[in-house]
Amino acid sequence: MAAPLKAVDGNADRTADLLALMSDLATRSRAAARVLALAPPEQKNRALEAMERAIRANAAAILAANAEDVAEARASGNATSSFIDRLTLTPARVEGMAEGIAVVRGIADPVGIVTESWQRPNGMTIERVRVPLGVVGVIFESRPNVAADAGVLCLKSGNAVILRGGSDSFRSCRAIHECLVQGLREAGLPEAAITLVPTRDRAAVGMMLSGLNGSIDVIVPRGGKSLVARVEQEARVPVFAHLEGVNHVYVDASADLAMAKSIVLNAKMRRTGVCGAAETLLVDRAAAGKNLKPLVEMLLEAGCEVRGDDAVQETDARVKPASEDDWDTEYLDAIIAAKVVDGVDGAIAHIQDHGSHHTDAIVSENDAAAKKFLSEVDSAIVLHNASTQFADGGEFGFGAEIGIATGRFHARGPVGAEQLTSFKYRVHGTGQTRP
């Protein structure tokens, strides 16, 4: 067994020690990726089963580590309530991690699946087959459960992964990572298959974005706008873009009001700090007289600040005027922008101008309006009569997700095990040569 990676002081300068650490980490990850690419499904599933057991057995240690992270974040005086919510683990959330691993174990192994096969006139057979990407670098901020989600999805898809969690969740991620390594060890897989960068030094992020001399094949950022902007600006390897979730719920004139109220409240207030939370409410002008005031009052009474256009402000004195910036803001807090629009066309136009291509929903009993919305809204996830908070790989049956990709290349929407594969062509001949 290889010697463990040496931790570097979180306050260390960009020294030779850090360079040596990251170089060693990259070398081990690349070697592990070669092993995982050929690992049989049964061996990977044994590791996942052991990880699930380890998470449950070490729940108390994970929660204790997380409590230290949360206490440190609170003491800083800079943490918002939504940030604390994203950082905090509870017994239910730890159990959710274990359950997610079980679901990932149960899904079909994507590696080696032949997606297409055809025969050429000369008798050759050509197959397109799924293969791992190689080494995935995941850079994330406050949500420690990302360590488990990313680790197990990469393992299932035959990829090695380098995890760089935020400094705020350092202890939590370390406790979770120890459980993942235990599972790898029990299954006889290389421990470097899932590596946690053992330093808080921000210089490590820059080294990952450089590709570590060709050792990282793709970068996945999970965090706020500033992190994603840095990744897209500095990365020298492909990126699964995960832009901010400026998500909309459009309430059509035909909507059932009770359903609309339930969906809007859940989409905004279930968890305000997740990327699937709704940030803008759009209401059809044709039924605003019936629907607008009940929706606005419901949000206000639930403790949500409402920032609206003139029509929305007229419904309740507590509504604050919306600025132009509000239509483009991901609040990740109990704040929502609200606007009256001219039907489904007005909603689509607003989303086109201000959306982030993440997740948008329509509440409507009109099939034609719903079909138009689902067809024309250019987002990774579009929903009809359902909450935007279903923007989650677990809710899609993937067990977990490594992120919500909002770009258009390779993967889009929740990135699960299948989306972490590429493909190659296998060609079977009987001695053919090209004339």
Reported as a single tens digit per residue, the pLDDT across 254-292 is 999 999 999 999 999 999 988 899 999 999 999 999 999
At residue 244, the pLDDT reads 82
Contact 362, 383 (CB under 8 A): yes
Please choose, from the candidates 429, 432, 401, the residue with its C-alpha nearest in 3D space to the C-alpha of residue 103: 401
**What does the pLDDT average to over 314-327?**
97
For the chain, the average pLDDT equals 92
Question: How many angstroms separate the CA atoms of 195 and 178, rounded?
Answer: 10
CA distances, 177 to each of 63, 103, 127 (Å): 13, 19, 37
Provide the terminal-to-terminal Cα distance of the chain, rounded to the nearest Å.
52
At residue 292, the pLDDT reads 98
Please, which residues bridge with residue 421 across strands?
A: 132
Q: Report pTM.
A: 0.82
CA distances, 282 to each of 19, 259, 371 (Å): 50, 15, 17
Reported as a single tens digit per residue, the pLDDT across 7-59 is 544 444 556 788 889 989 999 999 999 999 999 999 999 999 999 999 999 99
**Position of tokens 């009993």?**
365
pLDDT tier at 335 (50, 70, 90 boundaries)?
very high
Please choose, from the candidates 333, 266, 276, 342, the residue with its C-alpha nearest in 3D space to the C-alpha of residue 306: 333
Contact 267, 278 (CB under 8 A): yes
Question: How many angstroms separate the CA atoms of 323 and 299, rounded?
Answer: 19
> What sign does the dihedral 104-107-112-113 (CA atoms) show?
negative
Q: State the DSSP string of 118-152.
A: EE-TTS-EEEEEEEE-SEEEEEE-S-THHHHHHHH
Please, which residues bridge with residue 127 across strands?
A: 117, 426
Is residue 187's pLDDT more than 90? yes
CB-facing half-sphere around the CA of 220: CA atoms within 13 A: 32
At residue 398, the pLDDT reads 86
Question: How many angstroms separate the CA atoms of 269 and 360, rounded?
Answer: 16
pLDDT tier at 364 (50, 70, 90 boundaries)?
very high
E strands, 31-134, are 114-119, 125-132
At residue 255, the pLDDT reads 98
pLDDT tier at 2 (50, 70, 90 boundaries)?
very low
Question: How many angstroms separate the CA atoms of 337 and 326, rounded?
Answer: 6
Contact 165, 204 (CB under 8 A): no
**What does the pLDDT average to over 354-374?**
96
Q: What is the DSSP letter of 313?
A: H
Please, which residues bridge with residue 335 across strands?
A: 305
**What does the pLDDT average to over 370-375?**
97
pLDDT tier at 349 (50, 70, 90 boundaries)?
very high
Can you tell me whether residue 325 is helix, strand or coil?
Answer: helix
Question: How many angstroms separate the CA atoms of 330 and 346, rounded?
Answer: 21
Question: How many angstroms separate the CA atoms of 339 and 198, rounded?
Answer: 46
What percent of the residues of the chain are helix, what percent strand, and what percent coil, each to the nearest 5? 45, 20, 35
Q: State the DSSP string of 227-253.
A: HHHHHHHH-SS-B-------EEEEE-T
CA 209-210-214 angle, 5° bins: 115
Q: What are phi and psi of 427, to 5 degrees?
A: -120, 125
Reported as a single tens digit per residue, the pLDDT across 98-125 is 999 999 999 999 999 999 999 999 999 9
